[in-house]
């Protein structure tokens, strides 16, 4: 155990502190809230991996917002770039300006060579919605294959192709042409198999799904390299490569939603680099602005060729302020070698979390790559019964001890391990120490 005088974090328990409590109350009376469960903490400022609340408490952050602050909260280079742009120009829509052009150049220079065009938008949902539109427009077909558990956003196309009920339930029929197939969730395999013996049965089942559901107008497939919102569910190695092979064999487009998985999160700049794939379209969001709202779609120039004037446009997409952020984030990713740090610290953290899980009675699975890992919380390791209430308890106990974590999952029972990629060994050790104390006390 670390001595208290050595610690980075300090919390005057119990939370919420008086100022957080007052702010949370004011907030609930002003803004319509349907948020998920959070610890009762009102943030005042955040730098790197450290969050200060309005009561003077200091936390280590494993949320990165919601996997957004990849370069760390308020990275000085990013803050400076945004300040400078804001002092010059905030919006010029589709007129050329140096920030937007330089951002586009920097982005396409960083992506795999075949993705030689980008287009800027503002949110991840817009990026996935645009990818769906592009696949339809390019092929002249309208069916999109998506996956059980996938989350692509809350707009109609994104929600419809996604495979979670949360953004769809109560909103009437989803978009026409969305066809869904099982994603390999190996801890809870739909086929009651194991990765060792299944031979990627999920992929074989794709043919069956398409045979039963397609009316002969397949445009493409949209997949997350790992399921994020569904609970950081990673497919077995080779699955993505085989999925592209399947798409090519059917003569349809292959698109990836890297809104969450890119920008070093998995220990490589792009999650697609872990596999041998050449997607036609890739969606980006979250880390691309690392706190400044922006998103993008990457594509081959041939895809853009299918579009006419005005078909792809957005009021705020590519605005100078966001573009300055895109440039600064890419510079920081490279100069600070953040994908390498994510891999190094991520390996260390995963090893430690795996050990903690073995000692604990409630962590059924530890999975992930780089600095995106999930701890699946269960009532019983044999029955694997999900316990969202215990996950909430863990969030509160962690916060009271100086660690901010969130939860995701189809059942709401997966603790998110997703710190900013600038986390160092000392911060990782202290936060693991807190997590160990909480999990082993349950």
Ligand X SMILES: Cc1ncc(COP(=O)(O)O)c(C=O)c1O
> Site residues (CB under 6 A) for ligand X?
123-125, 128, 151-153, 224, 228-229, 257, 259-260, 285
Q: How far is the CB of 299 from ligand X (least distance, A)?
A: 17
CB-based burial, 328-367: b 16+ in 10 Å, e otherwise? bbbbbbeebebbebbbbbbeebbebbeebbeebebbbbbb
* Helical pair 425-440 and 338-359, crossing angle rounded to 10 deg: 20
Q: How far is the CB of 202 from ligand X (least distance, A)?
A: 19
Q: How far is the CB of 347 from ligand X (least distance, A)?
A: 23
Nearer to ligand X, 11 or 411 (CB): 411
Nearer to ligand X, 168 or 397 (CB): 168
Q: How far is the CB of 375 from ligand X (least distance, A)?
A: 18
C-alpha span between 439 and 412 (Å, rounded): 17
Q: How far is the CB of 435 from ligand X (least distance, A)?
A: 23
Cβ pair 137, 306 in contact under 8 A: yes
Nearer to ligand X, 260 or 387 (CB): 260
Q: How far is the CB of 392 from ligand X (least distance, A)?
A: 20
Cβ pair 148, 331 in contact under 8 A: no
Q: How far is the CB of 123 from ligand X (least distance, A)?
A: 4
Nearer to ligand X, 124 or 157 (CB): 124
C-alpha span between 283 and 132 (Å, rounded): 10
Cβ pair 291, 285 in contact under 8 A: no
Nearer to ligand X, 228 or 320 (CB): 228
CB-based burial, 256-270: b 16+ in 10 Å, e otherwise? bbbbbbbbbbbbbbb
Q: Which residue's C-beta sits nearest to ligand X?
A: 124
Nearer to ligand X, 228 or 406 (CB): 228
First to last CA, the chain: 18
Q: How far is the CB of 68 from ligand X (least distance, A)?
A: 9
Nearer to ligand X, 36 or 56 (CB): 36
Nearer to ligand X, 257 or 427 (CB): 257
Q: How far is the CB of 283 from ligand X (least distance, A)?
A: 7
Q: How far is the CB of 436 from ligand X (least distance, A)?
A: 28
Q: How far is the CB of 5 from ligand X (least distance, A)?
A: 39
Could you tell me the CA-to-CA distances from 117 to 128, 255, 374 in Å, in that order? 16, 14, 33
Cβ pair 10, 57 in contact under 8 A: yes
C-alpha span between 418 and 67 (Å, rounded): 6
C-alpha span between 412 and 392 (Å, rounded): 9
């Amino acid at each position: 155990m670390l001595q208290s005088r050595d610690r980075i974090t300090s919390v005057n328990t119990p939370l919420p502190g008086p100022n957080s409590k007052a702010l949370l109350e004011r907030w609930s009376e002003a803004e319509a809230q349907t948020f998920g469960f959070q610890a009762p903490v009102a943030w005042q400022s955040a730098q790197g991996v450290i969050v200060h609340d309005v009561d003077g408490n200091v936390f280590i952050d494993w949320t990165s917002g919601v996997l957004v602050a990849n370069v760390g909260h308020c990275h000085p280079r990013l803050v400076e770039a945004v300040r400078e742009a804001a002092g010059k120009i905030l919006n010029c829509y589709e007129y050329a300006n140096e920030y937007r052009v330089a951002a586009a150049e920097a982005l396409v220079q960083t992506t795999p060579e075949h993705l030689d065009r980008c287009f800027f938008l503002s949110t991840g949902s817009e990026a996935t919605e645009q990818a769906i539109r592009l696949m339809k427009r390019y092929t002249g077909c309208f069916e999109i294959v998506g996956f059980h558990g996938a989350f692509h956003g809350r707009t109609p196309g994104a929600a419809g192709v996604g495979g979670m009920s949360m953004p769809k339930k109560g909103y009437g029929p989803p978009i026409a042409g969305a066809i869904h197939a099982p994603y390999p969730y190996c801890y809870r395999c739909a086929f009651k198999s194991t990765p060792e013996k299944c031979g990627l049965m999920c992929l074989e089942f794709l043919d069956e799904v398409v045979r039963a559901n397609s009316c002969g107008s397949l445009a493409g497939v949209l997949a997350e390299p790992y399921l994020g919102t569904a609970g950081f569910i990673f497919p077995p190695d080779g699955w993505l490569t085989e999925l592209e092979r399947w798409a090519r064999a059917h003569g349809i487009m292959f698109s990836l939603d890297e809104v969450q998985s890119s920008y070093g999160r998995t220990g490589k700049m792009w999650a697609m680099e872990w596999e041998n794939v050449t997607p036609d379209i890739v969606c980006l969001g979250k880390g691309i602005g690392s706190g400044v709202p922006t998103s993008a779609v990457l594509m081959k120039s041939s895809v853009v060729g299918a579009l006419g004037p005005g078909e792809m446009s957005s009021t705020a997409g590519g605005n100078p302020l966001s573009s300055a952020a895109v440039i600064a984030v890419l510079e920081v990713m490279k100069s600070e070698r953040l994908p390498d740090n994510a891999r190094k610290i991520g390996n260390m953290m995963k090893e430690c979390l795996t050990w903690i899980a073995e000692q604990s009675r409630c962590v059924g699975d530890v999975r992930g790559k780089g600095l995106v890992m999930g701890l699946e919380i269960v009532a019983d390791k044999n029955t694997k019964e999900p316990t969202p209430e215990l996950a909430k308890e863990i969030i509160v106990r962690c916060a009271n001890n100086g660690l901010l974590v969130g939860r995701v999952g189809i059942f709401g029972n997966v603790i998110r391990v997703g710190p900013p990629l600038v986390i160092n060994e000392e911060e990782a050790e202290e936060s693991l120490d807190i997590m160990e104390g909480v999990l082993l006390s349950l």
